[in-house]
Amino acid sequence: MIPKLIIHGGCGKFEGNHASIDQYDQALRKILKRSYRKLLKKSAREVCVFGMRLLENEPMFNAGYGSKLQSDGTVRMSAAFMDGYKGKFSGVINVEDVQHPVEIARILNNRKHTVIAGRPAVKFARREKIPKFDPVAPHRLEEHESMKEGETGTCGIVALDCNGRICVATSTGGIGYEVPGRVGDTPTVAGTYANKHCGVSCTGIGEHIINLAVASKIASKVEDGMPLSDAVNGVIAQGNLVKSRFGLIALDAMGQIVMGQTRQVTTLAAWHDGVDERTFAD
């Protein structure tokens, strides 16, 4: 099996105007290259966490360091991880004071209780030796002080390794200036899902994604025998009918890579099919 990889850095209208299209493109290319090199030697599980950590480190993306602040001035982040081979979802909701929420989701994937939230999630992180970290980037603080309300913002990665194993991870800082404690699609199976047949990571308006159960619906259709491209196109069409705004990346067990988005949405994505790499700007 030739390893395949696709990542995304969110969607929308480049909210905040703190980075250009070219800067988004170059950041995604750099992360894609590093992650794909690792995928040639390591498992999809390892690469999803590795690649997501890189995305969470880049402050132009709304995840980890660079996460948007909620209306009370606090950064609360959510992340999810799912191993399609194991069929096990794990996630963390509204965690504070960490650099890599995906690490918590990864650890929970090997535990009995797989989803935790809020202050108990912070205490869990400390018990797991995850250090305290201030994720507030200067440009996000400026956005909050100007009371800038957003709509979107997420990072995601889907990997297929040489053993045919699919894994997916998604991480977000929310939408910016939202009601404290608001939860979007990222730490749910609507926004992050994988089985033995495909993996899907979503971005966009979380409530819209949840309403259509986007990721799990696509995965179920593929499991039932529908080609990935048809499953994605069908859900995108449903979204357009109800004027939803979201994008997604997907990858199936045969190595097919698909990116989808509803009208008026630009999904910041990059992918490597084992031969060539491409980004949304190509």
- Where in the sequence numbering do the catalytic residues fall? 154
Distance, CA of 21 to CA of 96 (rounded, Å): 29
Q: Helix, strand, or coil here: 188? A: coil
Among residues 275, 265, 213, 273, which one has the least CA distance to residue 243?
265
Give residues with Cβ within 8 angstroms of 243, minimum separation 6: none
C-alpha to C-alpha distance for 132 and 249, rounded to whole angstroms = 31
Report how far residue 95's alpha carbon sits from residue 120's, in angstroms, rounded to the nearest whole number.
8
In this structure, the number of other CB atoms found within 10 A of the CB of residue 110 comes to: 11
Question: Does residue 1 contact residue 259 with C-beta atoms inside 8 Å?
Answer: no
Report the helix count and the strand count for the chain, using DSSP H and E.
Answer: 8, 12
Which residues have CB under 8 Å from 116's CB, separation 6+? 92, 93, 104, 108, 124
